[in-house]
Amino acid sequence: MTLQLTRRVFMASAGAFALFAASLAPFAASAQDKPVIRMSTPASDTDQRSVALASVFGPAISEFATYQPHYNASLIAQGSELEAIASGDLEMSIASAQELANFFPEFSIFATGYVHQSAEHQVAVFNDALMDPFKQKVEDELGVKLLSVMYLGKRHVNLRFPRAEKDVMTPADLNGVNLRMPGSDAWQFLGRAIGANPTPMAFTEIYTALQTGSVDGQDNPLPTVVDAKFYEVTKQVSLTAHLVDLNYIAFSKALWDKMTPEQQAATQKAADDAAESGRTGQLAKEEELVSFLKEQGLDVYEPDLDAFRTHVQAQYVGSEFAKAWPEGVLDQINALGN
């Protein structure tokens, strides 16, 4: 149902997208005519991805465009960014594989638990020829160009219960736990696969929901737990590492096509450099934060990862998500890993 609705919304916006593409003036070089590239994200301005784009991407394209970031979903509602790019209401976002899976079910392979092995593995997969059909389909059918891959981090289970009350060592220990997950089908499936009761909720609502007990926990990388101050309203982190999560730098294809080849090359390099900067910062931050969270009074511990990995992968076998995966792609992804 979600996919059907999303496709209907997209088709309804196709006319607006065509008008937007036709009305774009040639990419100007003069300062007064610089196009504004608005980037919308639900993340805060201190998030490593936000910092990297503002400090690396923005300055790198400043000669021919003005980078204008909008944080905390203040411009476009979370989950609507891709449709906004398609309709010409936005130029840029940071999109998840789960969001893309709403349009193209085959993208769920990149949102599957324990498929990506590391940040380096993500980059190898994104730059491999196996990604070409995926990228092309997004351009052709959605009008969105995927420029680069950003490392979000290893997602872990973060609960408001103390460990004495709920010790999460295996998926069975998450039975009955209302775990906040984004609302897409791919996210909700992953939540069930790790053993929890996934509860859809916007990122901006999580803190209050944890504080009031509307949800029992949330899953995010440690830098996000700290950046959003979730540690203030939770008691533990089980280092499940159930997803080595990523975002794609998503860019308006209509705007891209108006650029000169030199501007396109500069924009591509700026995206790659920003992604690398954010990745380096996120990896370093992850290493530091276990000690920080323990200092804040949280229990931080490693569960039975083999039990989680075996259980999660078994949930995908024969699922609707796996049926959408192109034949042989999972083997190609695995071959690029360790």
The 10s digit of each residue's pLDDT in 26-62 is: 454 444 588 999 999 999 898 889 999 999 999 999 9
Q: For the residues 240-261, what does the mean pLDDT come to?
A: 96
pLDDT above 90 (res 8): no
Q: Alpha-carbon distance 307 to 48, whole Å? A: 31
Residue with tokens 């992804």: 333
Name the pLDDT band for 2 (thresholds 50, 70, 90): very low
Kindly report the average pLDDT of the chain as a whole number.
90
**Count of other CB atoms within 10 angstroms of residue 326:** 12
What pLDDT score does 247 carry?
96
Rounded to two decimals, the pTM is: 0.78
Least confident of 12-26, 43-57, 160-174, 183-197: 12-26
Q: Reduce the secondary structure of 113-182 to three states and give it as a string.
A: CCCCCCHHHHHHHHHCHHHHHHHHHHHHHHCEEEEEEEEEEEEEEEECCCCCCCCCCCHHHHCCCEEEEC
What pLDDT score does 32 carry?
58
What pLDDT score does 9 carry?
45
Q: Alpha-carbon distance 67 to 69, whole Å? A: 6
| pLDDT top residue among 32 and 302 | 302
pLDDT above 70 (res 99): yes
What pLDDT score does 185 carry?
83
The 10s digit of each residue's pLDDT in 258-278 is: 999 999 999 999 999 999 999
What pLDDT score does 186 carry?
81
The SS3 call for residue 272 is: helix
Residue with tokens 């639900």: 42
What pLDDT score does 16 carry?
44
The SS3 call for residue 264 is: helix
The 10s digit of each residue's pLDDT in 305-338 is: 989 988 998 998 889 889 999 999 988 998 998 7
pLDDT above 60 (res 80): yes
What pLDDT score does 5 carry?
42
**Count of other CB atoms within 10 angstroms of residue 23:** 9
What pLDDT score does 27 carry?
54
Least confident of 16-25, 139-148, 180-189: 16-25
Return the percentage of the chain with pLDDT > 90, whole number.
75
pLDDT above 70 (res 90): yes
